[in-house]
Amino acid sequence: MASSIVLFGPPGAGKGTQAGNIVRLTGKPQISTGDMLRAALSAGTSLGLEAKGYMESGQLVPDSIIIGLIEERLTQPDASDGVLFDGFPRTIAQAEALSEIADVSVVIAIEVPDSRIVDRICGRYTCASCDAVYHDTFNPTTTQGTCDECGHTEMKRRADDNEETVRTRLSAYHSQTAPLADWYRQRDLFVAVDGDQDINTVSASISEVL
Protein backbone atom coordinates (compact mmCIF):
# COMPACT_ATOMS: atom_id res chain seq x y z
CA MET A 1 0.00 0.00 0.00
CA ALA A 2 1.17 3.52 -0.81
CA SER A 3 1.87 5.69 2.22
CA SER A 4 -0.77 8.17 3.36
CA ILE A 5 -0.72 11.16 5.71
CA VAL A 6 -3.13 12.05 8.52
CA LEU A 7 -3.57 15.73 9.40
CA PHE A 8 -5.43 16.89 12.45
CA GLY A 9 -5.73 19.84 14.77
CA PRO A 10 -8.38 21.87 16.58
CA PRO A 11 -10.88 24.07 14.73
CA GLY A 12 -9.17 27.29 13.73
CA ALA A 13 -5.66 25.77 13.72
CA GLY A 14 -5.18 26.41 10.01
CA LYS A 15 -5.67 22.84 8.75
CA GLY A 16 -7.34 24.00 5.54
CA THR A 17 -4.43 26.21 4.52
CA GLN A 18 -1.80 23.64 5.46
CA ALA A 19 -3.70 20.79 3.80
CA GLY A 20 -3.50 22.73 0.54
CA ASN A 21 0.26 23.09 0.97
CA ILE A 22 0.67 19.36 1.70
CA VAL A 23 -1.30 18.48 -1.45
CA ARG A 24 0.97 20.73 -3.52
CA LEU A 25 4.12 19.30 -1.93
CA THR A 26 3.22 15.62 -2.15
CA GLY A 27 0.69 15.34 -4.97
CA LYS A 28 -1.53 13.29 -2.66
CA PRO A 29 -5.23 14.15 -2.90
CA GLN A 30 -6.91 15.57 0.19
CA ILE A 31 -9.90 13.56 1.34
CA SER A 32 -12.38 14.26 4.11
CA THR A 33 -15.20 12.03 5.25
CA GLY A 34 -17.68 14.89 4.81
CA ASP A 35 -16.74 15.31 1.15
CA MET A 36 -16.92 11.56 0.58
CA LEU A 37 -20.35 11.30 2.19
CA ARG A 38 -21.70 14.13 0.06
CA ALA A 39 -20.23 12.57 -3.10
CA ALA A 40 -21.67 9.13 -2.26
CA LEU A 41 -25.10 10.65 -1.55
CA SER A 42 -25.00 12.61 -4.79
CA ALA A 43 -23.95 9.55 -6.81
CA GLY A 44 -26.56 7.35 -5.12
CA THR A 45 -24.08 4.58 -4.30
CA SER A 46 -25.14 1.75 -2.01
CA LEU A 47 -22.98 3.11 0.81
CA GLY A 48 -24.30 6.61 0.17
CA LEU A 49 -27.90 5.43 0.41
CA GLU A 50 -27.08 3.52 3.59
CA ALA A 51 -25.49 6.63 5.10
CA LYS A 52 -28.46 8.76 4.04
CA GLY A 53 -30.79 6.91 6.40
CA TYR A 54 -28.58 7.65 9.39
CA MET A 55 -28.04 11.29 8.41
CA GLU A 56 -31.74 11.99 7.85
CA SER A 57 -32.60 10.56 11.27
CA GLY A 58 -29.90 12.68 12.91
CA GLN A 59 -27.69 9.75 13.84
CA LEU A 60 -23.93 9.47 13.39
CA VAL A 61 -22.91 7.49 10.33
CA PRO A 62 -21.35 4.20 11.59
CA ASP A 63 -17.61 3.69 11.25
CA SER A 64 -18.21 0.67 9.01
CA ILE A 65 -19.81 2.88 6.35
CA ILE A 66 -17.11 5.56 6.65
CA ILE A 67 -14.36 2.95 6.32
CA GLY A 68 -16.20 1.46 3.33
CA LEU A 69 -16.26 4.88 1.65
CA ILE A 70 -12.55 5.33 2.30
CA GLU A 71 -11.79 1.87 0.92
CA GLU A 72 -13.69 2.78 -2.27
CA ARG A 73 -11.88 6.12 -2.51
CA LEU A 74 -8.47 4.47 -2.20
CA THR A 75 -9.14 2.42 -5.33
CA GLN A 76 -9.38 5.55 -7.49
CA PRO A 77 -6.38 6.31 -9.76
CA ASP A 78 -5.40 9.59 -8.07
CA ALA A 79 -4.99 7.74 -4.74
CA SER A 80 -2.42 5.28 -6.07
CA ASP A 81 0.41 7.10 -4.28
CA GLY A 82 -1.54 7.53 -1.03
CA VAL A 83 -3.79 10.32 0.22
CA LEU A 84 -4.01 13.08 2.79
CA PHE A 85 -6.66 12.29 5.40
CA ASP A 86 -8.10 15.56 6.69
CA GLY A 87 -9.80 15.25 10.07
CA PHE A 88 -9.97 11.47 10.02
CA PRO A 89 -9.61 9.29 12.02
CA ARG A 90 -11.21 10.89 15.09
CA THR A 91 -11.21 7.88 17.41
CA ILE A 92 -8.96 4.91 18.18
CA ALA A 93 -11.58 2.54 16.72
CA GLN A 94 -11.44 4.48 13.45
CA ALA A 95 -7.62 4.47 13.51
CA GLU A 96 -7.56 0.71 14.01
CA ALA A 97 -9.98 0.18 11.13
CA LEU A 98 -8.01 2.57 8.92
CA SER A 99 -4.76 0.70 9.61
CA GLU A 100 -6.32 -2.37 7.96
CA ILE A 101 -6.87 -0.63 4.62
CA ALA A 102 -4.27 2.17 4.44
CA ASP A 103 -0.58 2.58 5.25
CA VAL A 104 -0.30 5.76 7.35
CA SER A 105 3.31 6.93 7.29
CA VAL A 106 2.96 10.06 9.45
CA VAL A 107 0.34 11.84 11.57
CA ILE A 108 0.81 15.62 11.68
CA ALA A 109 -0.97 17.51 14.46
CA ILE A 110 -1.13 21.30 14.24
CA GLU A 111 -1.14 22.47 17.85
CA VAL A 112 -2.36 25.91 18.91
CA PRO A 113 -3.22 27.03 22.49
CA ASP A 114 -6.96 27.23 23.18
CA SER A 115 -6.78 30.93 24.02
CA ARG A 116 -5.29 31.68 20.60
CA ILE A 117 -7.91 29.53 18.87
CA VAL A 118 -10.66 31.55 20.60
CA ASP A 119 -9.02 34.79 19.42
CA ARG A 120 -8.68 33.48 15.88
CA ILE A 121 -12.23 32.18 15.48
CA CYS A 122 -14.12 34.90 17.35
CA GLY A 123 -12.45 37.60 15.28
CA ARG A 124 -13.32 36.03 11.92
CA TYR A 125 -15.69 37.61 9.43
CA THR A 126 -16.33 37.15 5.72
CA CYS A 127 -17.56 39.15 2.78
CA ALA A 128 -21.27 38.47 2.26
CA SER A 129 -20.75 38.55 -1.51
CA CYS A 130 -17.53 36.62 -2.32
CA ASP A 131 -16.80 34.89 1.02
CA ALA A 132 -13.30 36.36 1.32
CA VAL A 133 -12.12 35.77 4.91
CA TYR A 134 -10.93 38.55 7.22
CA HIS A 135 -10.07 38.97 10.90
CA ASP A 136 -10.52 41.89 13.28
CA THR A 137 -6.88 41.76 14.40
CA PHE A 138 -4.81 39.60 12.07
CA ASN A 139 -6.30 40.38 8.66
CA PRO A 140 -8.72 43.33 8.62
CA THR A 141 -10.03 44.83 5.40
CA THR A 142 -7.83 47.65 4.07
CA THR A 143 -10.80 50.01 4.13
CA GLN A 144 -13.10 49.37 7.06
CA GLY A 145 -16.28 47.61 5.99
CA THR A 146 -15.24 47.16 2.33
CA CYS A 147 -14.07 43.86 0.87
CA ASP A 148 -10.58 44.07 -0.64
CA GLU A 149 -11.47 41.36 -3.18
CA CYS A 150 -14.78 42.54 -4.64
CA GLY A 151 -15.55 45.92 -3.08
CA HIS A 152 -18.76 44.70 -1.41
CA THR A 153 -19.67 46.56 1.79
CA GLU A 154 -21.64 43.89 3.66
CA MET A 155 -19.73 41.57 6.02
CA LYS A 156 -21.02 38.59 8.01
CA ARG A 157 -20.00 36.49 11.01
CA ARG A 158 -20.95 32.87 11.72
CA ALA A 159 -23.42 32.55 14.60
CA ASP A 160 -21.29 29.84 16.24
CA ASP A 161 -18.10 31.94 16.15
CA ASN A 162 -18.53 32.98 19.78
CA GLU A 163 -16.35 32.13 22.77
CA GLU A 164 -18.75 29.76 24.54
CA THR A 165 -19.37 27.66 21.43
CA VAL A 166 -15.69 27.63 20.45
CA ARG A 167 -14.60 26.47 23.91
CA THR A 168 -17.24 23.71 23.82
CA ARG A 169 -15.91 22.54 20.45
CA LEU A 170 -12.34 22.64 21.75
CA SER A 171 -13.28 20.60 24.81
CA ALA A 172 -14.86 17.94 22.58
CA TYR A 173 -11.82 17.96 20.32
CA HIS A 174 -9.38 17.44 23.20
CA SER A 175 -11.38 14.65 24.82
CA GLN A 176 -11.77 12.89 21.48
CA THR A 177 -8.28 13.24 20.01
CA ALA A 178 -6.00 13.02 23.08
CA PRO A 179 -6.32 9.20 23.23
CA LEU A 180 -5.84 9.05 19.45
CA ALA A 181 -2.62 11.09 19.68
CA ASP A 182 -1.27 8.68 22.29
CA TRP A 183 -2.24 5.71 20.08
CA TYR A 184 -0.22 7.10 17.18
CA ARG A 185 2.68 8.13 19.47
CA GLN A 186 3.00 4.51 20.58
CA ARG A 187 3.48 3.62 16.92
CA ASP A 188 6.08 6.36 16.32
CA LEU A 189 3.89 8.05 13.73
CA PHE A 190 2.81 11.20 15.61
CA VAL A 191 4.50 14.55 14.97
CA ALA A 192 3.29 17.79 16.57
CA VAL A 193 3.82 21.09 14.76
CA ASP A 194 3.56 24.47 16.47
CA GLY A 195 0.65 26.16 14.71
CA ASP A 196 0.92 29.37 16.74
CA GLN A 197 3.25 30.96 14.18
CA ASP A 198 2.80 32.71 10.85
CA ILE A 199 1.51 30.59 7.99
CA ASN A 200 4.83 30.34 6.14
CA THR A 201 6.70 29.19 9.26
CA VAL A 202 4.08 26.50 9.92
CA SER A 203 4.29 25.40 6.29
CA ALA A 204 8.08 25.17 6.54
CA SER A 205 7.81 23.05 9.69
CA ILE A 206 5.42 20.66 7.96
CA SER A 207 7.65 20.50 4.88
CA GLU A 208 10.50 19.49 7.14
CA VAL A 209 8.40 16.67 8.61
CA LEU A 210 7.45 15.43 5.15
Distance CA 69, CA 39 (A): 10
90 is catalytic: yes
Distance CA 47, CA 33 (A): 13
Active-site residue, from 15, 28, 73, 120:
15
Residue 202 contacts residue 111 (beta carbons within 8 Å): no
Active-site residue, from 156, 158, 185, 187:
158
For 154, phi then psi, to 5°, come to: -110, 125
Which helix or strand (DSSP H or E) is residue 127 part of?
strand 124-127
158 is catalytic: yes
Residue 134 contacts residue 155 (beta carbons within 8 Å): yes
Distance CA 29, CA 81 (A): 9
Return left, alpha or beta for 14; rule: phi > 0 is left, psi -120 to 50 is alpha, else beta: left
Active-site residue, from 52, 116, 124, 167:
124
CB-based contacts of 200-205 (< 8 A; 24+ apart in sequence): 202/14, 202/18, 202/110, 203/18, 203/21
Active-site residue, from 52, 116, 167, 169:
169
187 is catalytic: no
116 is catalytic: no
65: amino acid identity, one letter: I
Catalytic residues, by residue number, are: 15, 90, 124, 158, 169
